[in-house]
Amino acid sequence: MTATVGNPGSTTTEYKRSASRFTDRITADGREGRPVEAGRYRLVVSRACPWANRSLIVRRLLGLEDAISLAVTDPLQDERSWRFTLDPEGRDPVLGIAFLAEAYEAREPGYDGGVSVPAVVDVTGGEVVTNDYQRITLDLATEWTALHREGAPDLYPEPLREEIDTVMEDVYRNLNNGVYQAGFAKSQRAYERAYRNLFACWDRLSERLTDRRYLVGESITEADVRLFTTLVRFDAVYHGHFKCNRNKLSEDPVLWAYARDLFQTPGFGDTVDFDHIKRHYHQVHTDINPTQIVPLGPDLSAWLTPHHRAELGGRPFGEGTPPGPVPVDEEVPPRGRAVRD
């Protein structure tokens, strides 16, 4: 994910997320050194990671599957972090590498820092361009417009950006990152602070969404993408594994209906692999779960139950249309999907 797992070596009692090491941008005019170019870049993700899940969703919604190829890592890491053991012979078929760390090394010989996803790799040289998870999706929405599918939604509409940014900052600070601050806290005080901030934000969001379908405006924006990737993992891992247990998502009628609405929207639920999510958190975080036992629950079929959020109005894609079917080679395996009883 975006920081070394468990934040080892920290001398504080609070979890501190590592900053993205590589922050080059890929822009329409190439003004920062890398131009938008179909087929030149490969998006490397773990389906377990909420930060990488953002880029998967945005890539789907905008129809960029043919423009940016996809590499999916094993949900389990070893001492060299993210690895391509899901691919034949344990190597990514495009980049030819066994570990994402090799693309970091290609960018900066001798690099010994954290290796995180999502990462965008330049196929022509095999080096990582960016692991700036906050910027990647915004640039996909605003710089890659020439390669968007017909009917792609505007996920970062200019008139709403100030409000979107304000909402996203609250969501990031207290919920997206807050679950990690609670889960990796090294003192009771640090844990309780993160827990209280998390659920204060939770309550603000629940109230905000009581009478509106989406966080900002009448259609899906980047803010909804960022909130969804935490909510979809909440009951499966954060509630128990990270001790964020004031209540489950499924016990909040507003946020549970909101999350199901998004999950059932093309481009959201079809990117989620619950098997990868549960195995990563419960088997990699051995300081939290030394037995590495993976829970069987929760019941995933509940994600497909009616949500009735359409009654609030709004149009998921604004003036646009839903994305097409998931490419066959990018489908989530049956073990990781929510299916109806």
**Residue 2 clears pLDDT 50, i.e. is over it:** no
Whether 7 shows a pLDDT value over 70: the answer reads no
pLDDT recorded at residue 88: 93
Q: Do residues 223 and 168 make contact, with C-beta atoms less than 8 angstroms apart? A: yes
**What per-residue confidence (pLDDT) applies to 38?**
98
Copy the structure tokens of residue 166.
């304000």
Would you say residue 174 has pLDDT above 80? yes
Q: Which residues sit opposite 69 in a β-bridge?
A: 42
Whole-model pTM over 0.85: yes
Q: How far is CA 112 from CA 105, 115, 129, 199, 260, in A?
A: 8, 9, 17, 36, 40
pLDDT attached to residue 1: 60
Q: For the purposes of burial, counting CB atoms within 10 Å of the CB of 112, is it exposed (0-12), middle (13-18) or buried (19 or more)? A: exposed
Supply φ then ψ for residue 33, to 5 degrees. Answer: 105, -20
Indicate whether 4 pLDDT > 50: no
Other C-beta atoms closer than 10 Å to the C-beta of 3 total: 18
Domain 158-336 CATH (choose: 1.20.1050.10, 3.40.50.450, 3.30.420.40, 1.10.3720.10): 1.20.1050.10
Q: What is the mean pLDDT of the segment spanning 194-202?
A: 98
Is residue 185's pLDDT more than 60? Answer: yes
In whole angstroms, give the CA distance from residue 340 to residue 182: 33
Which pLDDT band, with edges at 50, 70 and 90, does 8 fall under?
A: very low
What pLDDT shows up at residue 284? 96
Predicted confidence at residue 186, as pLDDT, reads 95
Mean pLDDT of 89-115: 96
Per-residue confidence (pLDDT) for residue 9, from 0 to 100: 40
Q: Do 339 and 300 form a contact (C-beta atoms < 8 A)? A: yes
Domain boundaries, given as residue ranges, for the chain: 26-147, 158-336
What Rg, from alpha-carbon coordinates, does the chain have? 19
> Looking at 180, 195, 214, 238, which residue is catalytic?
180
Q: What is the pLDDT of residue 12?
A: 67
For 243-267, the pLDDT digits (tens) are: 999 999 999 999 999 999 999 999 9
The residue whose two tokens read 């070596």 is: 9
Nearest to residue 175, comparing CAs of 241, 236, 231?
A: 231
- Please measure the distance between the N-terminal and C-terminal CA atoms of the chain and give it in whole angstroms: 32
- CATH number for domain 26-147, candidates 3.40.30.10, 3.30.565.10, 3.40.50.970, 3.40.1160.10: 3.40.30.10
What whole-number distance in Å separates Cα of residue 269 and Cα of residue 188?
35
Tell me if 202 is assigned to a ligand binding site.
no
Alpha helices in the chain (DSSP H): 50-62, 101-107, 133-142, 161-171, 178-183, 188-208, 222-233, 239-241, 253-263, 274-284
Per-residue DSSP letters for 16-82? -PPPPS-B--EETT-TTSEE--TTSEEEEE-TT-HHHHHHHHHHHHHT-TTTSEEEE--SS-BTTBS
3-state secondary structure of 127: strand
Least confident of 5-14, 42-51, 228-237: 5-14
Listed in sequence order, the residues at least 6 apart from 255 whose beta carbon sits closer than 8 Å to its beta carbon are 202, 205, 206, 209, 231, 249
Q: Which residues of 19-42 are buried (b: 16+ CB within 10 A; e: fewer)?
A: ebbbebbbbeeeeeebebeeebbb
Q: Half-sphere exposure of 119 toward its Cβ, with a 13 Å CA cutoff?
A: 32
Give me the catalytic one of 15, 49, 244, 258: 49
Q: Is 49 a catalytic residue?
A: yes
Residue 54's nearest CA partner among 152, 113, 131 is 131
Residue 209 has pLDDT above 90, yes or no: yes
* 340, pLDDT greater than 90: no
CA torsion angle for 20, 24, 28, 33 (degrees, to 10)?
180
41 is catalytic: no
Mean pLDDT, rounded, for 78-100: 95
Q: What is the mean pLDDT of the chain?
A: 94
